[in-house]
Amino acid sequence: MDSKADSAFMRQFAGVIAGFMVLTVALIFLARYIQPDPTGDANPSQGLMAEKRIAPVGSVRSGEAGAAALAEAQAAIADATPTGDVVVDGAQVYGGLCMTCHDSGVAGAPIKGSDLMKEREAAKGLDGLVASAISGINTMPARGGNPSLTDEQIQAAVEFMLQ
Ligand code: HEC
């Protein structure tokens, strides 16, 4: 290779490198201009949320301090557990589940407030209707398909359906 071409290449190459260096510095300044303090705007609750996510699942409690902490935790759980009665609101139970079939008569379900509903009540009585709603009848699933509904909630929903 002849050295003229070599030095021409080196000059060009050095020029390109220098150009990139200038560009790098310019980009650094541009970035600082756009976002002067990248940590300043961070959501303050992000740290807390991260702490929560990485918090240990359990902890060992021993001795007197441990017993006190345990009693405190159990009291907190007892406070947070609802002890009151389950809400018995026929309209709410009906609106949350029964209406999916009983508003439009899916699969022959007697429509809320219809004559058919009243005929069935006349034939079986309220208790009979409640009993079949609890146990299920033909294509009607037991408790409308939600086994966690109480007898009282079913009864309230049936009463609401008869209105
Ligand atoms: C998946 C659809 C579906 C859901 C959800 C549903 N039902 Fe029904 N229900 C039916 C059908 C279908 C019948 C008619 C069954 C028959 O007589 O063949 C029926 C019948 C009834 C009857 C009349 C029973 C009888 O003895 O004649 C009552 C009362 C009733 N449902 C109450 C309820 C209540 C209360 C809920 C909500 C907790 C509910 N249903 C949710 C489909 C449904």
pLDDT in tens, 58-67: 777 778 888 8
Task: Give the pLDDT score at 69.
Answer: 84
pLDDT higher than threshold 80 for residue 80: no
Cα 40 from Cα 157, distance rounded (Å): 55
**Which residues are near ligand 1 (CB < 6 Å)?**
93, 97-98, 100-102, 106-110, 120, 124, 129, 132-133, 137-141, 143-145, 149, 154, 157-158
Atom of ligand 1 nearest to the CA of 149: 38
Task: Give the pLDDT score at 66.
Answer: 82
Q: Measured between alpha carbons, how far apart are the two ends of the chain, in Å?
A: 102
pLDDT higher than threshold 80 for residue 43: no
Residue type, 14: A
pLDDT higher than threshold 70 for residue 1: no
CA atoms within 13 A on the CB side of 130: 16
